[in-house]
Chains A and B, each alone.
Chain A
Amino acid sequence: MTRAQTVPATPTRESPGAPVTRPGGIGESTTRADGVPKVTGEFEYSSDLSMDGMLWGATLRSPHPHANIWSVDASEAEAMRGVFAVLTHEDVPGRKVYGMEIPDQPVLAWERVRFQGEPVAVVAADHPETARLALEKVSVEYEVLDPLVDAEEAIKEDAPKLHLSGNVLRHVRIEHSDVGSAAAEAEVVVKGEYEVGMQDQAFLGPESGLAVPDGEGGVDLYISTQWLHVDRDQIAESLGLPPEMVRLELSGVGGAFGGREDLSMQIHACLLALHTERPVKMVYNREESFYGHVHRHPAKMSYEHGATKSGELVYVKARFVLDGGAYASSSMAVCLNAATFACGPYKMPNAEVESYLAYTNNPPCGAMRGFGAVQACFGHESQMDRLAVALGMDPVELRIQNAIEPGDRFPFGQEVPPPAPVAEILERVKAMPMPEEKEVMGRDLRELPGGVSNTTHGEGVRRGVGYAVSFKNIGFSAGFDDYSTARVTLSVEDGEPLVRVHTAAAEVGQGLITLQAQIARTELGVERVAVLQADTRVGSAGSTSASRQSYVTGGAVQKACEAVRERLFERVREELGEDSGDLSVENGDIVSGGEVVLPLSEVLDEEIEETVEYRHKPTYPPDENGQGDVHVQFAYAAHRAVVEVDVELGLVRVVELATAQDVGKAINPQALEGQIEGGVAQGLGLALLEELQIKDGRIQNASFTDYLLPTTLDMP
C-alpha cells in the first residue's frame, strides 16, 4: 500500500513538534490546533527561522521583460567583504530548468530573460544589506529586445517565438452537438466581450525558507509551500541529487492561494547552502514577492449566447485567450478549466468553446484560487445578465430555468454527478432577506461609497443588486494520479491512548491539521491526537490546492485509521475470542454490545502503525473534441451582491454579500465559514480593487501601497 519511503536522516533542526490536542470530532467547530501559538506570536513561520552561522540569500533579477544576456560578471561582488557566494546558471549542477508540468523555467537565466524580475544570479552574505549591495555589483550585459506582451498577438502564426515550441502553450476546443444548425432556433442572441485582469494572491507571509546542508552532500529545507514532494522532486533534479538527499519540512505558511505551488527561492537557497556549507535563509520583500510568484491569468473572453423567447438556452460560442506570461507554471490546467467551465452550470444543448493559452513576456501566471473557473464565471454570468435583459426576464429566474441537474451532461461530455443543487442554491440566496435600505443623505461617511475620502454625502448614490452562480472542480483533473498518504499510529503514552497522524499535507491557514485530528478522533474514538509536522519523511499528500485536502488527505487519514482499527480489533479477538461481537472504540475503551469489554491500553503494549494511500476515482484527459470524464466532482456557489454606487464617480460600497453553497458535510463549520468568507473577500477584491497593472511587460504597482487589497472598510 505504501510507496518507497525516504531514508530518515537526522534532521538538521529541531522540529516545532506536534502539540497534543483534545476534543472535537467530525462536525464540531473545534478551535484551531495552532491558534494559541499564532495569537501569542510564537508560531514559527518560514521567515522567522534562524540558525547559528546563517547566511542571507538574495536574488538578482532582470530589469527587462525580454533581453539577451551576453555576459554576467560577478567578480566585484565576490570580492566584497561578507559575501560568501555569487552563483549563476553555471553553478546549477543538475537540470537547469524547472516547472511543475513543463520544465521550461530557468533556475537562473542564461542567454535570454523572458520576463521582468526573472532571476539571473543569487548571492549569500552575512547580512541582508550586504547581500543586496552585492547584487548591485554583479554586472550583467543585456541586449534589450522588444517584449511580446499581447496574448492575442502572441498566438498569431507570424509572431516571434518565445519558446522553441511556439507561443501557444495550450489550445482546448470543446465541440458539443452542433452550434451551426442550432443557431437558427435561437430567437434571441446576445454577444459580449469581457476582460479579467491579473490578480495577485498577496499572501501576507513572504516567500521564504531556510536551507541547511547536512554535511554529507544533502540538504534539509524548511519551507512554506503547498506541496512538499513536488518541490522536493524539482529541487533534487536541479541540484543533481537523488530525492532522498533532499529533505523538506513544512515551516509556518503565511497564506498561499495558489501562489506557492511553483518554486520561488527553494532551489536558490539549497544551491547557496550546499555551495557555502552554511545554513542560508532567503526572504523576499513585498516588492520582490510580486515578481517572485505567478499570478492569476488575465483573460479576454468573447461570448455569443442564443436562447428561445421563453428563456431556454440554445447555444453558446465562447473564445478565451489567456495570458500565461513567460513560463508554463500550471497554465495547462488553467486552460482546460477555463474551457470546461466556460458555459456555466447550465443545460447547454450546443456549445463551441475555444480556449487558448499564450506565452508572452508578461509575468508568469499560474494558480490562484479557482483558476480558470473565476475568469469563466465573470464571462458566463455577465452573459446571463445580458440575456435576461434582452428577454425581459428576471435574471435569477433565467438561471434557475436553465440550471444543470444530476444526470444532465456538461458540454464537455461528462455526466453531471449528484448532488448538483444549482437551482436550489439560487433559490436560497434569493430568499435571504434583503439588507435594510437606509436613507443615504446624512449618513456617517464610512457608510457611503468613497468613505472618509468625503467624495459624496449621499447625492448620486444608487443601490444595485446582482446575482451570480459559479462552479469549479474539486481535486486534480484530466487523468492526474491524485493521491494522498497518511501514517497513523495508535499507542499508549503517559497512561492514556494517543493517536499520531503524519502526512505531508501543507497547512497553509485553512485548518487542515485541525480537521485531520477531528477525523482521527472520530474514527478511532480516542481523545488525544497529535498531528505531526508535515515533511517528506512520509509519502506525498499531493497539493494543498484545488480544494482537495479535506477530501483526499482527509480520506487518507480516515483509511489509515480504519486500517489501525482493524489491527486493533484483531488483537482484541485474539484476547477475547472470535465471538467478541461488533467491536467499537469509545472514549479510549473497546466496546462490544454497548458495554466496555477492555480498556485500550491492555491491547496496546506495542503500538499499531499503518500507512495508507488514498485515491479518488480516476479522471481522463479530454478527447480532440474536448469530451471526457475530465473532473472528479464539482462545487457550486450562488452569490448575491447588494451594492451602493456613486454613479457620478463610479465608486462602490458593498452593502452585503450573501451566498449559498453546496459544501457537502462540514467537518469543521467555523473553519469552513472562514474559507467562504476569505474567498468572498478575494472575489470582492478582484471585482472592485485588485489588478496588477502591466505596461510593456513591466509591473507598475508592486507594493501594497499601489496594489489595493480589501480592508475592514471595504468589506460589508
Chain B
Amino acid sequence: MQLRLEVNGEKREVDSVWEGESLLYVLRERLGLPGSKNACEQGECGSCSVYMDGILVCSCLVLSGQAEGREVVTVEGIAGGDELHPVQEAFVEAGAVQCGFCTPGFVVATHDLLRRKPEPTDAEIREALAGNLCRCTGYEKILDAVRLAAEEGAL
C-alpha cells in the first residue's frame, strides 16, 4: 500500500508498504529514522514513543495504515535545528544516559510530561514515566534529568 504522512514537519510518502508493518517499522526501515527504538514491540517499554497528532503513543502499537494523513513527531524532531532541546541537554548533563537504548523514548515522554505539567511533583514524574523501561540507570539520574529540565523551564 501507499502511505502519506507528515513526519517531523515534512510531508513523506512511502510506497509498497506491507499492511502488517507498524508505524515503528515504517519510521525505522522505510523513512531512515531509527531513533525510535524496537526494544519490546508490544507497548511495554516505551522506547518507541512518538507523538501522533500531538498525542504520545507507542509507535510499535500503531499499524502503519493508522498513521495515514497524521502528523508524527519522533525523537529526531524534538530538537529544533542543531541545538539540543533543553530536555535532551538535561539528560546528557545529569548522566541519565548509559547504553541509551531507552533514551529516545524517555526524551519524548519527558517532553510530553513537561508540556502538560511544567512543574511536576515527584509522584507525577514517576507515574508519567512508569511506561518507559530502563535497564541501566535504575532511573535515579533520569529522575534528576527530568527535575533539571523542569527547573530550567524546558517547556
Contact = CB atoms under 8 A, between A and B. Distances in A.
Interface in A639-686: 670-671, 673-674, 677-682
B70 interface: no
A257 B136 CA distance: 9
B37 A204 contact: yes
A48 interface: yes
Contacts of A252: 100
B16 to A, nearest CB: 10
Interface stretch (A28-36, A528-536, A607-615): A28-36
B1 interface: no
B127 to A, nearest CB: 6
A39 B84 contact: yes
A674 B39 contact: no
Contact of A713 (B20, B37, B107, B126): B126
Interface in B95-127: 95, 97-104, 107, 123, 125-127
A473 B54 CA distance: 50
A32 B92 contact: yes
Contacts of B127: 446, 452, 712-713
B34 A48 contact: yes
B52 to A, nearest CB: 17
Nearest to B44: A704
A581 B103 CA distance: 50
A38 B141 contact: no
B23 interface: no
A543 to B, nearest CB: 17
A681 B127 CA distance: 17
A508 B99 contact: yes
Nearest to A445: B123
Nearest to A203: B135
Interface in B20-51: 20, 28-29, 33-42, 44-45, 47
A678 B34 contact: no
A154 B103 CA distance: 43
A674 B141 contact: yes
Contact of B143 (A256, A286, A712): A712
Interface residues of B, number: 57
B74 interface: yes
A48 B34 CA distance: 6
Given A703-B40, A709-B133, A447 B139 contact: no
Contact of B130 (A204, A510, A680, A712): A712
Interface string A676-716: 01111110000000000000000000011100011111010
Nearest to A680: B138
Interface in A269-294: 283, 285-286
B137 interface: yes
Contact of B99 (A204, A447, A677, A705): A204
Contact of A40 (B75, B99, B136): B75
Interface string B75-107: 110110000100011011101011111111001
Contact of A31 (B29, B79, B95, B133): B95
A286 B38 CA distance: 9
Interface in A15-55: 29, 31-32, 34-36, 38-45, 47-48, 50
Contacts of A671: 95
A497 interface: no
A127 interface: yes
Contacts of B91: 35, 39
Contacts of A444: 123
B56 interface: no
A151 interface: no
A504 interface: no
B35 A42 contact: yes
Nearest to A56: B29
Contacts of B129: 711-712
A711 B134 CA distance: 8
B141 A677 contact: yes
Given A204-B133, A286-B41, A703-B40, A40 B79 contact: yes
A326 to B, nearest CB: 25
Nearest to A657: B138
B99 A254 contact: yes
A675 to B, nearest CB: 8
Contacts, number: 182
A43 B103 CA distance: 11
A34 B18 contact: no
A48 B27 CA distance: 11
A372 interface: no
Given A39-B88, A674-B141, A204 B101 contact: yes
Contacts of B15: none
A205 B101 contact: yes
A213 interface: no
Contact of A678 (B39, B92, B135): B135
Contacts of A29: 95
B92 A45 contact: no
B119 to A, nearest CB: 17
Contacts of B10: none
Interface string A200-238: 011111100000000000000000000000000000000
A34 B42 contact: no
B39 A38 contact: no
A255 B136 contact: yes
A704 B42 contact: yes
Given A204-B47, A712-B139, A285 B41 contact: yes
A509 B99 contact: yes
A678 B138 CA distance: 4
Nearest to A706: B44
A713 B130 contact: yes
Given A45-B101, A204-B37, A705 B42 contact: yes
Contacts of A283: 38
Nearest to B20: A129
Contacts of B100: 34-35, 38-39, 43, 252, 254, 509
B38 A127 contact: no
B20 A39 contact: no
Contacts of B89: 39
Given A41-B76, A204-B101, A509 B123 contact: no
A205 B133 CA distance: 12
Contacts of A206: 38-39
A246 interface: no
A49 to B, nearest CB: 9
Contact of A715 (B47, B88, B132, B139): B139
A40 B35 contact: yes
Nearest to A47: B38
Interface in A411-446: 444, 446
B44 A677 contact: no
Given A40-B84, A50-B29, A129-B18, A35 B92 contact: yes
B8 to A, nearest CB: 11
A673 B136 contact: no
Contacts of A674: 95, 98, 136-137, 141
Contact of B44 (A285, A446, A678, A705): A705
B39 A204 contact: yes
A557 interface: no
A626 interface: no
B94 to A, nearest CB: 8
12 contacts: A36-B84, A39-B89, A41-B33, A41-B74, A204-B39, A205-B39, A256-B99, A670-B141, A704-B39, A704-B133, A709-B133, A715-B139
Interface of A: 29, 31-32, 34-36, 38-45, 47-48, 50, 127, 129, 201-206, 252-257, 283, 285-286, 444, 446-447, 452, 508-511, 670-671, 673-674, 677-682, 703-705, 709-713, 715
Q: Which 6 pairs, one residue from A and one from B, show the smallest C-beta to C-beta distance?
A: A41-B35, A509-B99, A38-B100, A681-B138, A254-B101, A704-B44
